[in-house]
Amino acid sequence: MSKTPAYDELCRRHQRLHRLAHLQSIASWDQSAFMPPKGNEARALALAEMGGLLHQQATDAALKGLLDSAEGESLDETQRANLREMRRAWRASNALPQSLVEAKSLAISHCEHAWRSQRPANDWAGYAENLREVLRLTREEARLLAEDSGLSKYDALMDQYEPGMRSTEVDRVFGDLRQWLPGLIQRVQERQRGEAVQVPEGPFATAAQRALGQDAMRLMGFDFEAGRLDESAHPFCGGVPEDVRMTTRYREDSFLPSLTGTIHETGHGRYEQNLPREWLGLPLARARSMGLHESQSLSFEMQLGSHPAFAGLLSPLIVKHLGEQPAFAPENINRLLTRVVPGHIRVDADEVSYPAHVILRYEIERALVEGEIEVDDIPALWDAKMMELLGIDTRGNYKDGPMQDVHWGAGLFGYFPCYTLGAMYAAQWFATMRREMPDLDQRIAAGELSPVFDWLNARIWSQGSRWETAELVQRASGEPGLNPAHFRAHLEGRYLG
Amino acid sequence: MSKTPAYDELCRRHQRLHRLAHLQSIASWDQSAFMPPKGNEARALALAEMGGLLHQQATDAALKGLLDSAEGESLDETQRANLREMRRAWRASNALPQSLVEAKSLAISHCEHAWRSQRPANDWAGYAENLREVLRLTREEARLLAEDSGLSKYDALMDQYEPGMRSTEVDRVFGDLRQWLPGLIQRVQERQRGEAVQVPEGPFATAAQRALGQDAMRLMGFDFEAGRLDESAHPFCGGVPEDVRMTTRYREDSFLPSLTGTIHETGHGRYEQNLPREWLGLPLARARSMGLHESQSLSFEMQLGSHPAFAGLLSPLIVKHLGEQPAFAPENINRLLTRVVPGHIRVDADEVSYPAHVILRYEIERALVEGEIEVDDIPALWDAKMMELLGIDTRGNYKDGPMQDVHWGAGLFGYFPCYTLGAMYAAQWFATMRREMPDLDQRIAAGELSPVFDWLNARIWSQGSRWETAELVQRASGEPGLNPAHFRAHLEGRYLG
């Protein structure tokens, strides 16, 4: 007879949820990657049915008692961490009434669907009307989550994606960033003005790009026995840890966006592929947070992928699949990958100007959630901040302004900071690696990437959700939490060094 | 307030099962078509979890009462047919104790897994040992199903695949077939001995074969907006009616096996794609039986695909994708498609000798289930029947004898007759079409295939499980049930005419 019956029962229930969610993940991946159009309605109904079933199991009345009983059982440190994460999952599933979840799901679905035609039509008024309803329900959600957790409303939302992170901390690191980033962007642009960059000449056949992307994934250590690369309109990394399904998209006139996107998703993919096997199916084995996830994709895409020596590894692969071109010389590839050009669109932004897009969104969404501003205030704030941070005039251009992302329309308030927190964490990981392995850059230049992967695996991937983020960061880097100085040093070193 | 509350509740429950089974179907398809090897264990666990969940819902204690209450409600003819099929599904799920289902599942899994290495090693003794255990559990299953239904043991098993079909009927039609088939095979072979047949010269690139297969599917009316063609080791037609997932496999040295296999699966696929939309999710909307399903794939592959005029439609597609060759002339393609060569292997058999393989298996499996013979009696019976029916000496060659199929090892006793019943039904459909449309063959020769598809859609596909098989056959063909004379006339007309 087990001495931890409540804990064991909780594990069994989570394993069951994990197995059913496996089918949901694969069917969702298929929906984006392979499903023909007429399958959509039946698939949506099937996924909604499963969503309801999983929610029902996650809010089962017996769970509260099991969680309380398990607290009193004799658990080791790992089990206790697992129990902490089980409770977190339980709170997230139970804090909101089903009626609110359903109302928000409907409002989101309506807003997203309309956005697809409103964005090309630059129809801000139409979008704003739907967004007001999503915001109204999100505020209600934030109020309930805040009551439940004792956090501020915005923090309660952000905690769903980045547990433990608070807006006071984000204010601190983004406030610092805000001081020096616009100046840095200008100085980098001035410096790059004199550089000669050769543009590769297309077209680049999709099949050749696909083979190139797969070779890059192999270079980055992706395990093709436990995952695949396919195509979808919006690239993502899905599937399950045992079988990671990455997607990308190809444009025949340009191969770098797909290649760097693939390297980015490979970072997500390897995190998932290397989550701790012995706990798979339990909350303990999940990735720590969205910010930490992004720190892996950016470790791959930016820290490694735009490393001055990495172009030397990429260049032979590009030549192998796309043929010889002067533009494929390593120095030129590196210049293409590190070109800083402020623009309207966040997802197209370079490493240096990207954080400006995130700061802008963070400032606006925090104020929206806290009720300090309304949807109608967004355009004027957007224009002012784009001018201030990137020197770009966005007036009247809603489609490439606040309508470019659908995060808010999808009710994802509190998510944007994760992108730049991830970039900062990634810089902190590489600063630690260099401290511990002074010859790291020479090894990368020699094509030896395993020290990087081994470090990330030992310190991040294999740790799952065993530690709260602050402790994970302490254990990984030896510093008490996020230190944004590493990100600044990284950007200044790479772009002005 | 509904006047049929029990019936409505049953419909809601079946819709829910249909939606969850959708995810199971897509994940199973993915498992065969795309899943990388290391995903297998997690996928097996996920599918088993879903299997358990679906079984639990299908055996829910409330169902019996709902079925009984619904009988007393005021239902129209269609609803009553739906209720009949709901009860059939309920009986099938409830007739067997969970312990037997699990024991059989384990024995099958063990037997199938060992078979993969036993077959190439010609290890009959090893296979027989595992097969004895599967047979023991199958006999127990048959005994319980027979008690529940009042049928004989073999009939109770066959009824799962071909509802309403009885071994007295199979004995009658196979008994007749057995009289004239061996003679026919000999006469056809003598006649074809003088024919010059040119063998196409490979290799045939996989990509070209894939495009050819897709063009053939378009010719056969497959809706690519509601389905796909992919690859797997063992071709099948899976997915869901709203999104049919067909697979095939390619050999670069030979393109006809894949092409005819694709045409075969397209028949299954179009049946599924055209099941009655208004009842989808309800048992009423399911395909009538496995024999009826096979009658569709064989209507496509044999009745149409080996029709003397069809090679004239296929030939230009072959030339388009594989280039010009003398062997691609319509007359030669037709000769290749209608070549009669008795052999050891059922799945490679031509249209004429195929039924001999089925008769042999039916006679042996019926006697096994009824306890008249044992596993150890199989080889001698196999050898005798192969000699008698096809004139082939199979002594000592177990791997191309009783070990060539894994149906019995997989516990599928009672399934084999469906293949030849399907061939006979297909002949009956085409005899009816020709009676109703005397110019059918000229229209087929002119590339006009819609009369065939429209007829099959109106009489079979759109009818789902609305009628019991005998009534469906009566309504479709005007004859009271299966008339094997059409199959004989078809073979004699095509091969000796």
B/e letters for B168-179, b = 16+ CB within 10 Å, e = fewer, are ebbeebbeebbe
DSSP structural state of residue B378: H
Number of A to B CB contacts under 8 A, please give it. Answer: 103
> What is the rounded CA–CA span in Å between residue A337 and residue A306?
6
Is B265 a member of any domain? yes
- With pLDDT > 90 as the criterion, what percentage of chain B qualifies? 95
A183 inside domain: no
Q: Which residues on chain B are in Cβ contact (under 8 Å) with A205?
A: none
Q: How far is B244 from chain A (nearest CA, A)?
A: 9
Q: Which H or E run includes B128? A: helix B124-149
Among the listed residues B141, B265, B272, B351, the single catalytic one is B265
Residues of B in contact with A23 (CB under 8 A): 23-24, 27, 46-47, 50
- Averaged over successive runs of 10 residues, the pLDDT of chain A (497 residues) comes to 93 97 96 94 92 93 97 97 96 91 89 93 98 98 95 97 97 96 97 95 97 98 98 94 97 97 98 96 97 98 97 98 98 97 96 98 98 98 97 97 95 97 98 98 96 98 97 97 97 96
Q: Which of B4, B371, B368 is nearest to B381 (CA)?
A: B368
Given the residues A162, A265, A272, A365, the one annotated as active site: A265
Output the pLDDT for position A486. 98
Q: Residue A324: give the domain boundaries.
A: 206-338+419-496
Beta strands in B178-336 (DSSP E): 227-231, 237-240, 243-248
Token representation of residue B411: 């516990």
| Domain shared by B84 and B212, yes or no | no
Run of H or E including A208 = helix A206-219
Q: How many residues does chain A have?
A: 497
Closest CA to A297 of A259, A257, A264: A264
pLDDT at B1 over 80: no
Lowest mean pLDDT among B112-116, B318-322, B486-490: B112-116
CA distances from A18 to B45, B463, B495 (A): 10, 39, 57
CB nearest to A226's CB, from B23, B36, B228: B36
In contact, A165 and A291? CB cutoff 8 Å: yes
- Quick check: is B71 catalytic? no
Q: How many other CB atoms are there within 10 angstroms of residue A145's CB atom?
A: 21
The percent of residues in chain B predicted with pLDDT above 70, rounded, is 100
**Site of tokens 């799962």:** B160
Q: Which residues of A touch B227 (CB under 8 A)?
A: 36
In a domain, B473, yes or no: yes
For residue A449, the model assigns a pLDDT of 98
Cβ pair A88, A283 in contact under 8 A = yes
| Domain count within chain A | 2
- pLDDT, residue B385, reads 97
Of B38, B225, B228, the CB nearest to A242: B38
Contacts of B26 in chain A (CB under 8 A): 26-27, 30, 43
According to the model, what pLDDT value does residue B109 have?
87
Give the tens place of pLDDT for each residue, A351-383: 999 999 999 999 999 999 999 999 999 999 999
Query: Among candidates B489, B494, B473, which has minimal Cα distance to B176?
Result: B489
Q: What is the pLDDT of residue A109?
A: 87
Residues A86 and A228 in one domain: no
CB contact under 8 A, A243 and B37: no
Give me the mean pLDDT over the B104-120 stretch.
91
Residue B180 lies in a domain: no
CA-closest candidate to residue A413, choices A134, A203, A110: A134
Measure in Å the smallest separation between the Cα of A48 and chain B Cα atoms.
9
Q: Determine, yes or no, domain membership for B281.
A: yes
Report how far residue B179's alpha carbon sits from residue B355's, in angstroms, rounded to the nearest whole number.
Answer: 12
For residues A227 and A239, the answer to whether their CB atoms sit within 8 Å is yes
- Check residue B407 and give left, alpha or beta (phi > 0: left; psi -120 to 50: alpha): alpha
User: What pLDDT digit, counting tens, does each position of B424-451 carry?
Assistant: 999 999 999 999 999 999 999 999 999 9
* CB nearest B23 (choices: A27, A223, A225): A27
Report pLDDT for B359.
98
Q: A458 or B194, which is more confident?
A: A458
- On whether any CB of chain B is under 8 Å from the CB of A341, the answer is no
Looking at A79, A94, A109, which one is the last position of a domain? A94
**Residue keyed to tokens 């700061």:** A359
Residue ranges of E strands in A251-404: none
Does B286 map to a domain?
A: yes
Domain final residue, candidates A69, A94, A119? A94
Q: Which residues of chain B are within 8 Å of residue A35 when distances are taken between CB atoms?
A: 243
Q: Give the residue from chain B lying closest to A16, CA to CA.
A: B49
**What pLDDT sits at residue B2?**
85
* DSSP-assigned letters across all residues of B114-126: HHHHHTTTT-HHH
Rounded CA-CA distance B158/B406 in Å is 17
Does residue B150 surpass a pLDDT of 80? yes
Q: What is the pLDDT of residue B174?
A: 97
**Tokens 């806290």, residue?**
A370
- Residue B497 has a pLDDT of 87
Where helices occur in B274-345 by DSSP H, the ranges are 290-298, 310-322, 330-337
A19 vs B226: CB contact, 8 Å cut-off?
Answer: no
Q: What is the largest CA-CA distance in chain A?
A: 75
Instruction: Specify the CATH number for the domain of residue A266.
Output: 1.10.1370.30
Calculated CA dihedral for residues A41, A43, A46, A52, nearest 10 degrees: -90
- For residue B18 the two structure tokens come to 């249909």
Residue A237: enclosing H or E segment and its boundaries? strand A237-240
Last residue of a domain, one of B94, B109, B131: B94
Distance from CA of B438 to the nearest CA of A (A): 36
ipTM value of the model? Answer: 0.94
B388 touches chain A (CB under 8 A): no
Element (H, E) at B92: helix B77-94
Q: What's the distance, Cα to Cα, between the start and end of chain B in Å?
A: 64
Tens of pLDDT, residues B38-77: 999 999 999 999 999 999 999 999 999 999 999 999 999 9
Instruction: Round to whole Å and give the CA distance between B45 and A12.
Output: 13
State yes or no: pLDDT of B310 exceeds 80: yes
Residue ranges of B 304-333 with Cβ closer than 8 A to chain A: none
d(CA A200, CA A198): 6
Residue A444 lies in a domain: yes
Tell me which chain A residues have a C-beta less than 8 angstroms from the C-beta of B39.
Answer: 226-227, 240, 242-243
Q: What is the CB-side half-sphere exposure of residue B475 using CA atoms within 13 A?
A: 15
Nearest to B42 among A41, A225, A240 (CB): A240
Nearest to A37 among B36, B47, B225 (CB): B225
Q: Which secondary-structure segment (H or E) carries A91? A: helix A77-94
Q: What is the mean pLDDT of residues B289-307?
A: 98
Compare all CA atoms of chain B with the CA of A36 and give the residue at the minimum distance: B225
**Same structural domain, B451 and B326:** yes
Query: Measured at the alpha carbon of residue B440, what is the angle toward residues B223 and B286, in degrees to the nearest 5?
Result: 40
Q: Is residue B362 part of a domain?
A: no
